C-alpha cells in the first residue's frame, strides 16, 4: 500500500522542482540582481571581463624605461617554443652594446599560449599580456611583428574592444 | 509474409551525445541493439609521435590537449614519468601542491561528467548547476596556472610558480559552492524516478569483464574492485593523505554515479588536508637547464579521473627527446567495453552507456 502511494505521489520529483524553483525565485526577485552574489553570469560584452594576474594572453615585446626593446636576440624563446611560432632576425643599432631584433615575427595562428617562451627568457624581455580577444578580420593580421606589413606587437587586436592591453 | 532483418545504423561521429567524434556502428532489430561496434580515430593527431620529436619539456603541452577536462592529471602523470626517468626528487611542497591541483581537477572532471551525462539522459537542470560550480574551480586553475583548460601546470622537477595571493580563500569559496552543489545534485537525481529508471541495471559491466578488458577508474570501482592507483602505488603526496576508495557492487550506471559523487567528496577532503598541512620550502628541484637522458625505459601509472593514465618513455644515451613515447589512456580501453555493456539493450541505453564511461575523444584517439 505504502509503495503504491509512493508511486502515485511523486514526492522526489516535487523536491527537485522545489530546488530549481527556489533558485529561480531567489535570483529573479532579488533587488538589484545584476550585482547580487547569486547572479553568477558576467554581463561580458557590456562589462569588461577580468582575468587573473597570471593569465596567459598574447605575446608582447616589453620595453625599458627609455622606450627601447629589451630583447637581445638570444634565441632562447625560439628554442623553447613547441610550435615554432616565433622567428626573429638579429640586427644592430648605433649606441647599443647588445643586439636588437631587426624583425620579431610571432604567428598567432600557431601559438598555443603555453608560456614556455616567457619562462625561457632570462632578460624579461617578453611577456604574455592579458589580451584575450584575438580575433582579426584577415588571416594576414594573425602575423604579428615589429611593423611593416605586420600587425603591431604593441597594439591590441583590431576587433578586441574590452580586453586589457599592455602588461598588468 | 513479413521478413525482418537487422538494420545497421551509424551513431555518430557527429552525434551530440557521443561527446566528440565517437562512431558507433549499431545493428538494430527494432528498438533492440543486436550488435555494437565502436570506431575510433577521427580525432587522431599523433600526440605520441609529436612528443618523440620534441624536447622532453615540450611534450607537456600535448598532454594538456589529450583529455581537455583533466589537463592537470595528464600533466602530473607526464611529469612524474619523466622525473622517474631522470631520477629527480621533487620538493615536498611541490608534491602537496600537485596533489591539490590533481584533486581539484578530479572535481572538475566529475562535474563535467555529471552535467553532460545527466543532460544526455534528460535531466537538463543538473547541467546548469554543475557548470556553476565548475566555473569556480576553473577560476582557481586560472589563478594558479594561468589558463583554464590547457593548464600546462607541471614542470619536470616541480612547479613553475608558488601559490598566488589569496589562493586558499579562493579554493575554500569554491568548495563552499561545490558542497552545496553535491547536495543539490543528489536532491535532483538520486531518488528521481526517471533517473532511476534510466540508470539502475543499465549498461552493466561485471568485475571479471572489467579486468579482462583493462577497464579502470570509477567503472572498475563500481563493479566492486577497490583498485585505485592513489592507494595501490602512491605518487605525489597521496601516501600522506587520508581518504577512502568508494566502491559499489551493482556495476551499473547508477552505481557509477554514486561512486563518482563519493569521489568528489573525497577529493574535497584531500584538498583540505593539503591546505592545512602545506609544508614550507621550494616548489622546484634543482635540475640542469637542458635535460639529457641515459639509456632507460620507464612506465608510470597515475589515477586520472577517468582511470589509469600511464606514460611509457624509452630514452637513449644523450638524447634530448624521448626515443619512444607511449600513452596508455583510460578512455581508449574503457570504450572497448561498450559492446559488452550493450548486450540486449535498447537504443536509448546506448546514450547511457556512452555517457557513463565518461569518454573524451581527445584522449582516446590522441
Average pLDDT taken over every residue of chain B: 87
| Strands annotated E in A4-142 | 59-61, 86-91, 100-107, 126-128
Contact list in A for residue B150 (CB cut-off 8 A) is 112-114
The tens digit of pLDDT for each residue in A56-108 reads 888 888 878 787 788 888 888 888 888 888 888 888 877 777 888 888 888 88
Q: Taking CA atoms, what residue in A is nearest to B148?
A: A55
Residues in A 119-138 with any Cβ partner in B closer than 8 A: 119, 128
Contact list in A for residue B160 (CB cut-off 8 A) is 119
Question: Could you give the CA distance from residue A49 to residue A44 in angstroms, rounded to a whole number?
Answer: 6
| Among A23-37, A39-53, B104-118, the range of highest mean pLDDT | B104-118
Own/partner long-range contacts of B342-346 (Cβ < 8 Å, ≥24 apart): B342/B33, B342/B36, B342/B203, B344/B32, B344/B33, B345/B32, B345/B33, B345/B202, B345/B203, B346/B31, B346/B32, B346/B33
Grid cell 576587433 is found at: A159
**Contact between chains at A113 and B147 (C-beta distance less than 8 A):** yes
How many Å lie between the alpha carbon of B10 and the closest alpha carbon of chain A?
A: 34
Q: Taking CA atoms, what residue in B is nearest to A39?
A: B132
Average pLDDT taken over every residue of chain A: 78
> For residue B290, is pLDDT > 80?
no
CATH superfamily name and code, B7-365: Cytochrome-c3 Hydrogenase, chain B (1.10.645.10)
**What's the whole-number mean pLDDT along residues B231-253?**
88
| Residue B271 in grid coordinates | 584538498
Give the HSE-up count for residue B1: Cα atoms under 13 Å, Cβ half-sphere: 0
| Mutation to test the B interface, candidates A11, A12, A50, A76, most B Cβ within 10 Å | A12
Kindly state the DSSP code that residue A63 receives in the 8-state scheme: B
Q: How confident is the model at residue B299 (pLDDT cuts 50, 70, 90)?
A: very high
Q: Taking CA atoms, what residue in A is nearest to B129?
A: A20
Cross-chain CB nearest to A19 (options B57, B135, B187): B187
Question: Could you give the CA distance from residue B154 to residue B74 in angstroms, rounded to a whole number?
Answer: 10
> For residue A163, is pLDDT > 60?
no
> For residue B273, is pLDDT > 50?
yes
**Contact between chains at B144 and A54 (C-beta distance less than 8 A):** yes
**Contact between chains at B187 and A10 (C-beta distance less than 8 A):** no
Adjacent-strand bridge partners of A87: A105
Q: Is A12 an 8 Å CB contact of chain B? A: yes
Contact list in B for residue A10 (CB cut-off 8 A) is 193
Q: Is A3 an 8 Å CB contact of chain B? A: no
**What's the whole-number mean pLDDT along residues B247-259?**
89
Predicted local distance difference test score (pLDDT) of residue A160: 57
The tens digit of pLDDT for each residue in B332-345 reads 898 888 888 888 88
Q: How confident is the model at residue A25 (pLDDT cuts 50, 70, 90)?
A: confident
> For residue A109, is pLDDT > 70?
yes
Predicted local distance difference test score (pLDDT) of residue A63: 79
Distance of CA A115 to the CA centre of its chain: 12
Predicted local distance difference test score (pLDDT) of residue A149: 62
Predicted local distance difference test score (pLDDT) of residue A156: 61
Grid cell 638570444 is found at: A74
| Residue A101 in grid coordinates | 631584433
3 state SS of A121 = coil
Q: How confident is the model at residue A161 (pLDDT cuts 50, 70, 90)?
A: low
**What's the whole-number mean pLDDT along residues B286-302?**
84
**Can you say whether the dihedral through the CA atoms of B172, B125, B335, B265 is positive or negative?**
positive
Element (H, E) at A151: strand A151-152
> For residue B8, is pLDDT > 80?
yes
**First-to-final CA distance of chain B:** 50
Question: Could you give the CA distance from residue A104 to residue A153 in angstroms, rounded to a whole number?
Answer: 9
Q: Is A54 an 8 Å CB contact of chain B? A: yes
Measured between alpha carbons, how far is residue A40 from residues A27, B134, B183 in Å?
A: 10, 12, 19
Q: Taking CA atoms, what residue in B is nearest to A111?
A: B61
The tens digit of pLDDT for each residue in B204-225 reads 888 898 899 989 889 999 888 8
Predicted local distance difference test score (pLDDT) of residue B110: 92
Measured between alpha carbons, how far is residue B310 from residues B86, B218, B225, B328 in Å?
A: 17, 16, 19, 5
**Contact between chains at A82 and B152 (C-beta distance less than 8 A):** no
Contact list in A for residue B144 (CB cut-off 8 A) is 54
**Contact between chains at B142 and A55 (C-beta distance less than 8 A):** yes
Rounded to 5 degrees, what angle do the CA atoms A17, A23, A24 make? 85
**Contact between chains at A15 and B150 (C-beta distance less than 8 A):** no
Kindly state the DSSP code that residue B39 receives in the 8-state scheme: E
Residues in A 19-48 with any Cβ partner in B closer than 8 A: 19-20, 40
Question: Could you give the CA distance from residue B209 to residue A158 in angstroms, rounded to a whole number?
Answer: 57
Q: Is A126 exposed, middle or buried (0-12, 13-18, 19+ CB in 10 A)?
A: buried
**What's the whole-number mean pLDDT along residues B14-39?**
84
Q: Is B103 exposed, middle or buried (0-12, 13-18, 19+ CB in 10 A)?
A: buried
Contact list in A for residue B62 (CB cut-off 8 A) is 82
Q: Which of A1-10, B131-140, B317-326 has the lowest mean pLDDT?
A: A1-10
Q: Is B161 an 8 Å CB contact of chain A? A: yes
Give the HSE-up count for residue A64: Cα atoms under 13 Å, Cβ half-sphere: 10
> For residue B171, is pLDDT > 50?
yes
Q: How confident is the model at residue A33 (pLDDT cuts 50, 70, 90)?
A: low
Q: Is residue B66 within 8 Å of residue B57, measured between CB atoms?
A: no
0.85 surpassed by complex ipTM = no
Adjacent-strand bridge partners of A49: none
Predicted local distance difference test score (pLDDT) of residue A165: 46
Question: Could you give the CA distance from residue A128 to residue A113 in angstroms, rounded to a whole number?
Answer: 8
Q: Is A80 an 8 Å CB contact of chain B? A: yes
User: Could you say which architecture CATH assigns to the domain A59-152?
Assistant: 2-Layer Sandwich (3.30)
| Domain spans in chain A, listed from the N-terminal domain onward | 1-41, 59-152
The tens digit of pLDDT for each residue in B23-33 reads 889 888 888 88
Amino acid at each position: 500500500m505504502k509503495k503504491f502511494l509512493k508511486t502515485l505521489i511523486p514526492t522526489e520529483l516535487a523536491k527537485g522542482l522545489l530546488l530549481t524553483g527556489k533558485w529561480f525565485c531567489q535570483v529573479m526577485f532579488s533587488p538589484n540582481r545584476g550585482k547580487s552574489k547569486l547572479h553568477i553570469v558576467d554581463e561580458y560584452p557590456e562589462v569588461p571581463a577580468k582575468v587573473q594576474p597570471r593569465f596567459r594572453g598574447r605575446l608582447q615585446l616589453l620595453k625599458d624605461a627609455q622606450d627601447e626593446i629589451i630583447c637581445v636576440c638570444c634565441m632562447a624563446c625560439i628554442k623553447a617554443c613547441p610550435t615554432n611560432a616565433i622567428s626573429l632576425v638579429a640586427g644592430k643599432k648605433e649606441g647599443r652594446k647588445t643586439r636588437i631584433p631587426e624583425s620579431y615575427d610571432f604567428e598567432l595562428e600557431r601559438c598555443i599560449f603555453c608560456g614556455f617562451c616567457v619562462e625561457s627568457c632570462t632578460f624579461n624581455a617578453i611577456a604574455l599580456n592579458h589580451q584575450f580577444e584575438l580575433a582579426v578580420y584577415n588571416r594576414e593580421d594573425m602575423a604579428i611583428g615589429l611593423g611593416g606589413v605586420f600587425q603591431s606587437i604593441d597594439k591590441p587586436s583590431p576587433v578586441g574592444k574590452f580586453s586589457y592591453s599592455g602588461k598588468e | 509474409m513479413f521478413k525482418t532483418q537487422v538494420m545497421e545504423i551509424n551513431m555518430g561521429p557527429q552525434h551530440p551525445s557521443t561527446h566528440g567524434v565517437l562512431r558507433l556502428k549499431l545493428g538494430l532489430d527494432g528498438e533492440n541493439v543486436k550488435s555494437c561496434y565502436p570506431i575510433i580515430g577521427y580525432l587522431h593527431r599523433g600526440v605520441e609521435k609529436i612528443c618523440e620529436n620534441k624536447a622532453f619539456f615540450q611534450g607537456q603541452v600535448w598532454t594538456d590537449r589529450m583529455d581537455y577536462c583533466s589537463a592537470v592529471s595528464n600533466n602530473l602523470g607526464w611529469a612524474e614519468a619523466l622525473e622517474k626517468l631522470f631520477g629527480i626528487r621533487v620538493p615536498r611542497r611541490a608534491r602537496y601542491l600537485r596533489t591539490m591541483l590533481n584533486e581539484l581537477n578530479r572535481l572538475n572532471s566529475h562535474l563535467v561528467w555529471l552535467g553532460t551525462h545527466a543532460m544526455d539522459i534528460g535531466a537538463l537542470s543538473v547541467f546548469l548547476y554543475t557548470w556553476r560550480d565548475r566555473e569556480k574551480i576553473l577560476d582557481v586553475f586560472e589563478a594558479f596556472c594561468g589558463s583554464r583548460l590547457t593548464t600546462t601546470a607541471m614542470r619536470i622537477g616541480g612547479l613553475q610558480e608558488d601559490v598566488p595571493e589569496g589562493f586558499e580563500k579562493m579554493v575554500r569559496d569554491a568548495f563552499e559552492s561545490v558542497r552545496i552543489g553535491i547536495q543539490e545534485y543528489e536532491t535532483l537525481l538520486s531518488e528521481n524516478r526517471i533517473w532511476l529508471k534510466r540508470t539502475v541495471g543499465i549498461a552493466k559491466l561485471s568485475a571479471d569483464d572489467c579486468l579482462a578488458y583493462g577497464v579502470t577508474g570509477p567503472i572498475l570501482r563500481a563493479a566492486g574492485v577497490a583498485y585505485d592507483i592513489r592507494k595501490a602505488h602512491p605518487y605525489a603526496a597521496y601516501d600522506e593523505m587520508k581518504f577512502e576508495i568508494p566502491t559499489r557492487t551493482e556495476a551499473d550506471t547508477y552505481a557509477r554515479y554514486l561512486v563518482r559523487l563519493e569521489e568528489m567528496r573525497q577529493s574535497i577532503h584531500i584538498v583540505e588536508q593539503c591546505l592545512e598541512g602545506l609544508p614550507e620550502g621550494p616548489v622546484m628541484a634543482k635540475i640542469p637547464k637542458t635535460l639529457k637522458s641515459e639509456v632507460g625505459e620507464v612506465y608510470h601509472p597515475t589515477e586520472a579521473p577517468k582511470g589509469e593514465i600511464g606514460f611509457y618513455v624509452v630514452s637513449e644515451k644523450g638524447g634530448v627527446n624521448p626515443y619512444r613515447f607511449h600513452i596508455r589512456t583510460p578512455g581508449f580501453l574503457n570504450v572497448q567495453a561498450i559492446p559488452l555493456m550493450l548486450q540486449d539493450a535498447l537504443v536509448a541505453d546506448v546514450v547511457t552507456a556512452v555517457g557513463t564511461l565518461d569518454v573524451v575523444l581527445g584522449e582516446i584517439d590522441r
